[in-house]
């Protein structure tokens, strides 16, 4: 105590600590600024053209990443739909059906799943999930004659579809935990009121889901933001092929993050490639900013 007050005579300790906060704030600003500055050459040269065309030709210094932008949106949206189904199922069964004693087991297991490094998901997706999806989902659908809509899968099964399924599995633990916590905390009197209407259990559950729709929206936004930014796992299963037909999900493709991850080793060999990658990163940054803004608007933070 004495020491501190003596020190205070010389200088205000909090003024010194404030430098650390200033460093943190300015480093975040710097991170954004450097994205803007480094992407300037290609912005000046091409404007918004790279956003509207699908071409990646470093030799002639032509860049357009519509295919990656489309891949990001397609995989993240598809992942969102799948993960929403999985996480609602998880949350509802957890909160309403399984015995209380089993709850901590399921909860800890899913929390553990959320803590597994994403690159492990990627390896599993590449070596286990993609071949499985190819032989049991993609090929049967192609045999049914749906290839004009979905495209033909690659021999290894790496595709935008596999990436979407993998992303769905990755974000499910987190998004189900958001729904689960809210579902468990629904007040007893509301539950009882619903049962007193003579509803069956599943009907009660459906009404409860309607009651917590804001939390479900939060879960959606959180998983979308995760899915858009995820890199290592997606880069391993998405196939990394320039695919202008990114809506044909059985084909391999690129997402913005996997484009950056896959192209960086040779980026410095070309004059405009580094700016192009930074431009792509900037677009990714704005997408995730927009999603998080929506998240903020939806009112509930995790």
Residue 163 binding another protein, by CB under 8 A: no
| 124 touching another protein, by CB under 8 A | yes
In angstroms, the Cα distances linking 296 to 214, 221, 290, 302 are 12, 9, 10, 10
Longest Cα–Cα distance of the chain, Å, equals 82
CB-based contacts of 298, cutoff 8 Å, min separation 6: 214, 217, 218, 221
Q: How far is the CB of 158 from another protein (least distance, A)?
A: 10
Q: Using CB under 8 A, which of 52, 152, 185, 203 touches another protein? A: 203
230 binds another protein (CB under 8 A): yes
Closest CB to another protein among residues 218, 248:
218
13 lines the binding site for another protein (CB under 8 A): yes
Residues with Cβ within 8 Å of 267's Cβ and at least 6 positions away in sequence, in order, are 273, 274, 277
| Contact with another protein (CB under 8 A) among 133, 169, 242, 276 | 169
HSE value, Cβ hemisphere, 13 Å, CA-based, for 246: 28
Alpha-carbon distance of 79 to 89, in angstroms, equals 15
CB of 89 to another protein, least distance (A): 2
Phi first, then psi: give them for residue 250, nearest 5 degrees.
Answer: -80, -10
Q: How many angstroms separate the Cα of 63 from the Cα of each of 139, 160, 259, 273, 275? A: 33, 21, 12, 8, 10
Member of 43, 51, 123, 186 binding another protein (CB under 8 A)? 123
Q: How far is the CB of 65 from another protein (least distance, A)?
A: 14
Kindly state the number of chain residues that form the binding site for another protein, as judged by CB under 8 A: 84
Query: Shortest approach of another protein to residue 284 CB, angstroms?
Result: 6
Considering only residues 80 to 119 of the shown chain, the ones binding another protein according to CB under 8 A are 85-90, 92-94, 97, 106, 108-113, 115-119
What is the nearest approach in angstroms of another protein to the Cβ of residue 259? 10
x/- site string to another protein, residues 61 to 80, per CB under 8 A? --------------------
Q: Of the ranges 47-55, 57-65, 180-188, 253-261, which one interacts with another protein (CB under 8 A)? A: 253-261
- The residues near 80 (Cβ < 8 Å, ≥ 6 apart) are 168, 220, 223, 224, 227
Question: Is 231 among the residues that bind another protein (CB under 8 A)?
Answer: yes
Q: What is d(CA 205, CA 52) in angstroms, rounded to the nearest whole number?
A: 44
The encoded tokens of residue 165 equal 């399924």
């Amino acid at each position: 105590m004495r020491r501190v007050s003596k020190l205070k005579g010389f200088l205000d300790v909090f003024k010194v600590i404030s430098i650390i906060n200033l460093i943190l704030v300015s480093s975040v600003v710097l991170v954004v600024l450097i994205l803007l500055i480094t992407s300037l050459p290609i912005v000046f040269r091409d404007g918004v053209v790279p956003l509207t065309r699908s071409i990646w030709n470093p030799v002639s210094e032509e860049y357009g990443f519509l295919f990656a932008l489309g891949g990001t949106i397609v995989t993240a949206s598809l992942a969102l739909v799948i993960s929403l189904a999985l996480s609602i199922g998880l949350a509802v069964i957890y909160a309403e059906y399984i015995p209380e004693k089993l709850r901590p087991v399921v909860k800890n297991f899913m929390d553990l799943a959320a803590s597994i490094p994403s690159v492990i998901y990627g390896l599993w997706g590449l070596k286990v999930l993609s071949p499985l999806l190819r032989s049991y989902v993609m090929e049967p659908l192609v045999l049914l004659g749906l290839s004009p809509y979905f495209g033909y899968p690659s021999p290894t099964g790496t595709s935008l579809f596999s990436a979407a399924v993998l992303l769905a599995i990755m974000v499910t633990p987190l998004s189900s935990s958001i729904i689960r916590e809210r579902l468990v905390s629904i007040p007893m009197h509301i539950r009882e009121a619903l049962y007193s209407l003579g509803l069956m259990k599943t009907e009660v559950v459906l009404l409860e889901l309607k009651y917590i729709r804001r939390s479900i929206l939060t879960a959606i936004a959180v998983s979308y933001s995760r899915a858009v930014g995820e890199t290592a796992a997606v880069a391993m299963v998405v196939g990394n092929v320039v695919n202008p037909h990114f809506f044909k999900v059985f084909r391999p493709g690129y997402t913005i993050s996997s484009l950056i991850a896959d192209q960086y080793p040779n980026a410095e060999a070309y004059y405009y490639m580094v700016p192009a990658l930074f431009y792509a990163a900037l677009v990714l940054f704005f997408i995730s900013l927009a999603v998080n803004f929506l998240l903020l608007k939806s009112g509930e933070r995790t």
